[in-house]
Structure 1
Amino acid sequence: MLEPVKFSTYHGGARKEGLLDFSASLNPYPPEWLGEMFERAKEVSNRYPYYEKLEENLSELIGEEVTVTTGITEALYLIGILALRGRKVVIPEHTYGEYERAARIFGAKVVKGPNEPEKLAELVERDSVVFFCNPNNPDGRFYRTKELKPLLDAVEDKNALLVLDEAFIDFVKKPESPSGENVVKLRTFTKSYGLPGIRVGYVLGFSEAFKSVRMPWSIGSTGVAFLEFLLKDNFEHLRKTMPLIWREKERMERALGVKSDANFFIKRVGDAKKAVEYLKRRGILVRSCESFGLPEYIRFSVRKPGENERLIRALKDVEREMGNGR
């Protein structure tokens, strides 16, 4: 009758308490208004959470029309409803796994290609759909508009659709975000506000189409309260905390010999499973990149200074134990 889709839903994030969690790539500084926000959520939890006016206000703040979704993940499945059935879907080899999962759920033909935009552009066909994460997960590479141009041109020439996942763009210094008639952009507040349990994101582009298929009341009363406080905050929280994250990111780059444009890194350790278990015994959780097709790498995020120092020391021990991944 009903057959399961055989594709893992495992992602980063601690499944149990007691570990210092570097596996989820989040802002480690929560908003000062978090407690007030939860009190507001209680106040509005006895009615259906409509948020059309808040969505309009968010559009004004962003500077273009947005469609609010329950994080980027809901947006991926709305794209499935709107555009994936029977289509060719082009996905980079090493990237976020939900693109492929959503594509297969909706019966799309999945084609894997290189992570470089210029080479990926060669796989674009008429009416196909391309998923591209920028900055990419798990390696944190950010591609400027100039670098994306071959892919943007190919999508336009073939009347294809480019789904640009910008989940981590708030962590990029001086980011750029291309636009186009065949481009839909996905963003979320989950990462930059460090609140993965509050599922609020938004889509830029094709607003009428997305609003026609999304679930009613999907963000719930907590999401409504979050939007209210976000609008009052006017992104001040990001202006305060991003410089703190950037400073620590640069320190970690120097200490560990890694590089990223986002708030997380990958590092070659030889055997990711073994490294993850070793670090767990030290009370630290990192992400194995095996699900990204990179079984020799781990991924870890930027946290607060003292926590980062603890990770740096532990990773140096891993290098000594495992021969620096070689």
Structure 2
Amino acid sequence: MLEPVMFSTYHGGAREEGLLDFSASLNPYPPEWLDEMFERAKEISNRYPYYGRLEEGLSELIGEEITVTAGITEALYLIGILALRGRKVVIPRHTYGEYERVAKIFGARVIKGPNEPEKLAEMVEKDSIVFFCNPNNPDGRFYRVKELKPLLDAVEESRALLVLDEAFIDFVKDAESPSGENVVKLRTFTKSYGLPGIRVGYILGFPEAFKSVRMPWGIGSTGVAFLEFLLEDGFEHLRKTMPLIWREKERLEKALGVKSDANFFIKRVGNAGEVVETLKRWGILVRDCTSFGLPEFIRFSVRKPEENEKLIRALKEVETKMKNER
């Protein structure tokens, strides 16, 4: 008999129609070539989706050999296959839940630690594996290379492995990314191109190892079409849309008293579950941060100006209601 593994994790994203979705932290501006891309996907859907040539093209565009994966999620499972069994895995307390879930599925020994890199470095041991999200999910804090150095040094000295999740790095102004022989970096286009249904991401580091265990045809015809258009685009879409997001991000910070380095914020609201349900009745969906170990916080993303205005008004009304009930 096969027994289920009870390590479920709740994630953001609307599960019902008709809600203005701030729970998924995505670029609200779709690429101009989206319709053409879907036509191309239909055109090639009658063949096996081989993408070696496109992977090489993306490696040239990025400047380093990469391994294409079905989003960061597949990358986490590949790490499980290659490295997690029986290992000590160090994970910050308030971060993306899939690290712990995947580690436990593969029989790793999970140790929770502080979110700060300098303090987390003290927990690194020989041959251990550290997961670190930068910028972190859910609070959006981004650590510069100088701030990461204690953790990078500890990993190198202990011959450990640092898995650096950079899913939201495209949203960070003047972002910088560390390098090292003991560092694996995970990135995705799901967030920065606003296309969570198109499962395309990539890994930086250890390409031979990761390519030896990944699934064949892992991204499908739509993913292949996306890569074709992405290579033509050359990240121009990001150069056009990120300034629009940064402008709105600053407006939300001023209006709601929040701060983040990424395209999303957390805000203390008391009973997060209750506030989420209240906002849903008003047609707005935000993320309950209970699954991150933060039951008094909600998370919401940066969307288009008129959408952000609706959120600002709704959250201010919630704040007024909370004050009146005290």
Question: Same-fold call, TM > 0.5?
Answer: yes
The answer to whether 1:123 aligns with 2:123 is yes
Counterpart secondary structure, 2:246: helix
Contact 1:95 1:133 in 2 (8 A): yes
How far, CA to CA, are the matches of 1:36 and 1:97 in structure 2? 35
How far, CA to CA, are the matches of 2:166 and 2:208 in structure 1? 20
Shift of 1:325: 11
Structure 1 gaps, min length 5:
none
Alignment of 1:85-124 (within 5 A): 85-124=85-124
Alignment of 1:142-291 (within 5 A): 142-291=142-291
Shift of 1:178: 0.1
1:37-89 deviations in Å (ceiling 9; x for gaps): 00000111000000000000000000000000000000000000000000000
How far, CA to CA, are the matches of 1:197 and 1:324 in structure 2? 41
How far, CA to CA, are the matches of 1:162 and 1:197 in structure 2? 28
TM-score (normalizing by structure 1)? 0.99
State the one-letter code of the partner of 1:159.
Answer: R
How far, CA to CA, are the matches of 2:177 and 2:150 in structure 1? 15
State the one-letter code of the partner of 1:4.
Answer: P
How far, CA to CA, are the matches of 2:224 and 2:245 in structure 1? 27
Counterpart secondary structure, 1:68: strand
TM-score (normalizing by structure 2)? 0.99
Contact 1:296 1:325 in 2 (8 A): no
State the one-letter code of the partner of 1:24.
Answer: A
**Are residues 84 and 61 of structure 1, via their aligned partners in 2, closer, same or farther at CA, if it must alter by over 3 Å?**
same
Structure 2 gaps, min length 5:
none
| Root mean square deviation, CA, Å | 1.0
State the one-letter code of the partner of 2:114.
Answer: P
How far, CA to CA, are the matches of 2:254 and 2:91 in structure 1? 32
Shift of 1:319: 0.7
Counterpart secondary structure, 1:31: coil
Indicate the percent of aligned positions where both proteins have the same amino acid: 86
1:93-118 deviations in Å (ceiling 9; x for gaps): 00000000000000000000000000
How far, CA to CA, are the matches of 1:178 and 1:79 in structure 2? 19
**Are residues 258 and 7 of structure 1, via their aligned partners in 2, closer, same or farther at CA, if it must alter by over 3 Å?**
same
Shift of 1:2: 1.7
Counterpart secondary structure, 1:170: helix
How far, CA to CA, are the matches of 2:35 and 2:316 in structure 1? 38
Counterpart secondary structure, 1:122: helix
Counterpart secondary structure, 2:210: helix
Contact 1:270 1:325 in 2 (8 A): no
Counterpart secondary structure, 1:120: helix
Shift of 1:3: 1.8
Counterpart secondary structure, 1:227: helix
